Amino acid sequence: MGKIWRSLKTVAGLFSAIALTQFGANTSAIAADTVVVRLGLFTESITLTELQKAVKTGKLPGSLQSLSEEQRRFFLGALGMNIPMNVVTIDRLINTQIGTTILNDFATALARKDKAGVQALRAGLVLGSTAPQGLSILSFIAAYPSKRLEIDLPKAWIVAGNLNTAFWRTQQFMLAIAPQLDPITAHPRTPQIAFPFDPSQPGNAQVKVLNLSLNDQKRDRKIPVDIYWSTAATPDKPVIVFSHGFGSVRTDLRYLAEHLASHGYVVAALEHPGSNQANANLALQGKTRVMKPQEFLYRPQDISFVLDELAKLNQTANHPLQGKLATTNAMVVGYSFGGGTALALAGAELQLERLKQRCKKNLTILSLGENMQCIAQELPENSYQLRDPRIKQAIALNPTTSLIFGETGLTKIQIPTIVLAGSADKTTPALTEQIVGFDKIPSPKSLVGIIGGTHLSVKDPSTTLDQVGQPNTPISGGEVVGEQAADVRKYVKAIALAFAAQMTPEAKNYAIFLTQDYAQFASTAAFPFRLINEIPPDAMAVVKEFVEK
């Protein structure tokens, strides 16, 4: 993992230094030839020539020599690095939702009396990347549209520290899986396909909600379930079961449940009692563990139990759901930890030997998603098979996969699967948790990339209200949610409906919406969408560079 870490730190460090020195952008006629570094009351002016000399000699000019040894090494190392992205990639990235967020974060460390800091950064990133040696801190400074560039060093280090180490490789990968971009403008070509209707629009049926409280006596588990349904439900459509994220609630994806139910599907959104919000609240009070290792086994079993109970309801006389539940022809949708649950039900084998070795090492370098998976190291066996043959399709939204399924666990999946990844996800970083694992899943499969999507972007707005005012840290915050993420949820509704329809007589009518053409059509300026069935060679090169051989 050391090689991986160094590789990612090089990329992250380079962009961090852009934040660190906020060496902003350029328009061409004017170039920054003086950089002013502010550190509290201390101010030091440095010329571009002095910085170029510092890279060659390894010595910082003037009073900057008073910086700590660690700060000096970081400063000089950042100045000497090149960003492994060409001008087309840089231009495409900074014109997305996440690109705007990046620029705004960087601009906080840039002292300008006007309000053009973000625009200057944008221009400088693009023009700086046209330099013969590519984009570097020095070419960035040389491209900055002002004679004087002033930065607040403490703020710059805060911005630098907020960067996730796998973040930049993920952006590079997401942009590499766009086969239908115009090579000149780098913008999507106009699709040549006419789409027959809009699958993101609600159906005609009025949605009803049936609240159940189920009790699995064998495991002493009380499982609340919300059933979303309508009178349009028929047994030729699959039952769809939702599995929520760690420490969350069964309304994680309420908007999606309502959407599918309006089109005649029956959706069962259950709550996992040992890893839901109620359990997390008890853990904060010191009354229970954050999560017991058995939850990795109990969650898939919860869904199997709910399908058993729904099968009984399907046979219950005079019950409103009688005869409407195709429980032997089901689809599972899981979010975050629930995404891992969905993959286990699809056939992925829990393989814990490598996880146990990995989790004995320094956990401070792991993401939140990896740390959560490390709880499974307490399970007594090294492998578990939790597949439910009634599950015929699976959708895993921002799933956890990096440790829990080992080297080959995901190769055991036996059904069509969609994996969704957000490029700005800090909790379950896309490259480690979704992209590397996706390559191991047998076809038929699809990888959906949301450029600019964060971990919570796919969640129902009612469950993300607590994100207002949250600080942006290396492992949390900076979430794009609510109305800002409306485009993401609209696309999720479309592909989930189209995927569910593949298990019905309407399959052909919806197949067009599970293509890159529709992803391109549905893309917005804020959120470009990508959909692929296999990782193309150029994008796979990014993955191979990340994974230690």
pTM of the model: 0.76
Q: Encode pLDDT of 270-287 as tens digits.
A: 999 999 999 989 988 888
Instruction: Identify the CA nearest to 252 among candidates 241, 261, 262, 263.
Output: 241
Same domain, 140 and 267: no
Q: Which domain holds residue 533?
A: 208-546
73, part of any domain: yes
CA distances from 190 to 3, 317, 455, 522 (A): 41, 53, 29, 11
pLDDT of res. 414:
94
Instruction: Identify the CA nearest to 136 among candidates 27, 18, 293.
Output: 18
Same domain, 107 and 244: no
Which residues are within 8 A (CB) of 41 and not within 5 positions of it... i.e. 6 or more apart?
none
Any idea what the CATH number is for the domain that residue 243 is in? Answer: 3.40.50.1820
Same domain, 221 and 133: no
Same domain, 216 and 151: no
Instruction: Identify the CA nearest to 137 among candidates 96, 106, 108.
Output: 106
pLDDT of res. 482:
94
Same domain, 123 and 269: no
Q: Looking at the 3D structure of the chain, how many domains does it have? A: 2
Q: Which residues of the chain carry a pLDDT beneath 50?
A: 1-29, 164-165, 179-188, 364, 549
Same domain, 155 and 230: no
Output b/e per residue, 136-147; b: 16+ Cβ within 10 A: bbbbbbbbbbbe
Same domain, 529 and 402: yes
Same domain, 158 and 224: no
Same domain, 315 and 415: yes
203, part of any domain: no
235, part of any domain: yes
CA distances from 10 to 6, 92, 157, 236, 546 (A): 6, 21, 16, 53, 12
255, part of any domain: yes
Collapsing DSSP to helix, strand or coil, 160 comes out as helix
241, part of any domain: yes
Same domain, 287 and 413: yes
* Boundary residue ending a domain (100, 128, 163): 163
458, part of any domain: yes
Same domain, 270 and 362: yes
Same domain, 153 and 212: no
Could you tell me the two tokens for 517?
């053409």
